Amino acid sequence: MNELPGQLPGQLLVIGGGRGIGAAIAACWPAQSTVWTRSGGVDATDPAALQTAFAAFQSRHGAPFALVHCIGDFAERPLLGTDPATWRELFASNVDSVFHSLQAVVPAMVALGRGRVILFAAAGVDRDRAMLRAPAYFAAKAAVVQLARSLALETAPRGLCVNVIAPGLIDHPHSHQDSQRRMLGRVPAGRLGHVDDITGLVRYLLSPAATYLTGQVLTVDGGLQA
């Protein structure tokens, strides 16, 4: 049986890993992780900033083995109560930052002929149902799923695996705790998720055991009935 990795075969690049889930992922491989954050000088909505940052990364490390993108602002508003500025901010944070990050980093991984890409959506976005709680946010995350599936098909012949983690209610110091408290009664598992519930899945996706898994949305939500 393949074991989960104690050490990766290359560098891990975490975009948005300054806190919460992203920071926990980077902490799993502290000696091999590079973290990009806006506060650290890399704005993932800015293509030029990403290209500059990746040029510096590549000159030091070469192409990364894995890219994990964790950025994504949240707003819990009805559709008709969502103003244009909030709509644009949600799509810039959740979709534009993914597109620009993939454009900057993935071609080097394709050239290397191996690699893993993990993007983050939200539980329920791949279901055929209305999402009344935060429709603009879920629309943005649905776009992330489509980008991931398209990239998975495009890069599978070159040895890449591209997957999406769709968390439910994950408790950490920067989570949206008011919303989580209201939704907890809809979780059959009877508890909020822990960051370890996510990092365990990331460890699997970056392991040799996951070389035949691509284009999938992996939901971690305790059975959440959204």
CA distance 153 to 144: 14
pLDDT at residue 6, as a whole number: 78
Q: Does 204 have pLDDT greater than 90?
A: yes
User: Could you tell me if residue 82 is inside a domain?
Assistant: yes
> Does pLDDT of 224 surpass 70?
yes
For residue 81, is it within any domain?
yes
Structural domain contains residue 4: no
Residues assigned a catalytic role: 137
Residue 3 has a pLDDT of 47
On the question of pLDDT at 177 being above 80, the answer is no
Structural domain total, the chain: 1
**Residue 1 within a domain:** no
* Structural domain includes residue 7: no
Q: Which residues constitute the domain of residue 32?
A: 12-220
**pLDDT averaged over the chain?**
93
Mean pLDDT across the stretch 125-135? 85
pTM confidence score:
0.94
Between the CA of residue 169 and those of 37, 102, 111, 190, what are the distances in Å? Answer: 23, 26, 37, 11
pLDDT digits (tens, 9 = 90+) for 187-196: 888 898 899 9
Q: Compute the average pLDDT of residues 77-92.
A: 96
Torsion-angle region of residue 220: left (phi > 0), alpha (psi -120 to 50) or beta?
beta
Task: List the CATH number of the domain containing 90.
Answer: 3.40.50.720
In a domain, 133, yes or no: yes
Residue 195 counted as domain residue: yes
Query: Mean pLDDT lowest for which of 5-14, 52-61, 93-102, 201-210?
Result: 5-14
Cβ(163)–Cβ(206) under 8 Å?
no
Please check whether residue 3 lies inside any domain of the structure: no
